[in-house]
Chain A
């Protein structure tokens, strides 16, 4: 193999695209070019089939029936939990709490800390967080009287690590940072963040929502305390995700919701809670979603995350080169090497909403606006950006269509 590998050689893009039925539909009379993958990824046939198969062959409530169908559904669900555990290399499968997604996972942890934190305690949160990662901590601080402090971000869209070190002290109890920024794609140095936090005995929650589709976090190797993921960003269905937590930390947190499945003994005087993971999984879960979450990981692992990352990097580098040829383009965030396949940009003098509206008319789906990360937009003093985010099923040809459409939009709006 020579050094100038083309993207086609890395993976068989045509055959991969065949797995995704939605990529073959039209939008506004034009072939769909789906570049809003950071909001949600598309779903391959294998995952869709898994959901259909569940309702056609396995549907029963889990963990309680004595009948065979309930056992079949329970086995499928628990085998998905095991797939998630193996993927993130957690020590025990009961350290994987299946939730409705990242937001649910974060709220679960925040709720658990409500009875632990004291007024003198401090929580650190990065300046590049998604709203869902800011609001729960604000609510928690209101409840406990603890202080919320912000790790600043540089012009390049990277966390200022010196400032982070200065913020850490003996009062710091929790640090919340996303693994990858949703608005900019920046990959944060989580190993360093975790090690520094552990020096002052603070725990760290890493929001992996934007990272999980591009790279694998080994929770043991990185010594991660809590990690959250949404399945719909990694080719899985919506409404399901996970919270990983170290066993001793999850045991320390009180349950988030009361209900069925999460109890051990119930009398009117007292209820004792079930053990992990059931303590945090009250009620009937999203069973088909959980099973399909496992199928989505199988699908991506069969392609291989190293291949995915290398291919997406090629797409990002190509898109960056092409877009920079357009006059007046400003890209927000760091260089391709330090981020996932996200291109967040503006064109001088044009509003992102106008660009997004015209791109949509040409069949191209991008996100415009503040990407639920208003503090980042305030930092750059802009109303928002246009965000094109790529996945392994996108092609170079689609980037060409995107660039042509962008030039057309620019000429219409100028």
Chain B
């Protein structure tokens, strides 16, 4: 299992193949179709990332000492963006997720999605995933 940094590098390399922005989006749309979908029972208000453009749900659950994420959105490009994040963070230990940087977002040119008026921006998605990691990490430390 590769670590967070290695996975980020893989994604950056994949995106560098595409010269054209439309091709990158086509790829993101494809990634969106392979998103590990959240179970309906977890599509609750507390798992929704609030924004005014599209609805996004992210749910994290522990599998032994690793955190797995599932998600969904009603917009396909948004699904693609979460699919990328899930590829980086899913199956990693909470403490590694907490400490991870997200420089790859800049490198693959998704920075524009970070701006606050892009609702459901990457920032809030990453934040939600890190919050899960923090919550599970503190549970583990108590136990």
Contacts and interface: CB of A to CB of B under 8 A. Distances in A.
Contact of A413 (B21, B29, B78, B119): B29
Interface in B43-86: 52-55, 74-78
A374 to B, nearest CB: 9
Nearest to A408: B22
Contacts of B55: 383
B52 A369 contact: yes
A406 to B, nearest CB: 14
A375 to B, nearest CB: 14
B26 interface: yes
B15 interface: no
Of the candidates A350, A361, A370, the one having the most CB atoms from chain B within 10 angstroms of its own CB is A361
Contact of B77 (A29, A354, A383, A384): A354
A383 B74 contact: yes
A contact residues, range: 10 to 19
B25 interface: yes
Interface string A344-368: 0000001111100110011000001
B110 to A, nearest CB: 11
B22 A353 contact: no
Interface string B104-132: 00000000000000010000000000000
Contacts of A358: 22, 25, 77
Contact of B76 (A368, A369, A383, A413): A413
20 contacts: A28-B21, A350-B76, A351-B54, A351-B74, A351-B75, A351-B76, A352-B53, A353-B78, A353-B119, A354-B75, A354-B77, A358-B22, A358-B77, A369-B52, A370-B52, A408-B22, A412-B22, A412-B25, A412-B26, A413-B76
Interface of B: 21-22, 25-26, 29, 52-55, 74-78, 119
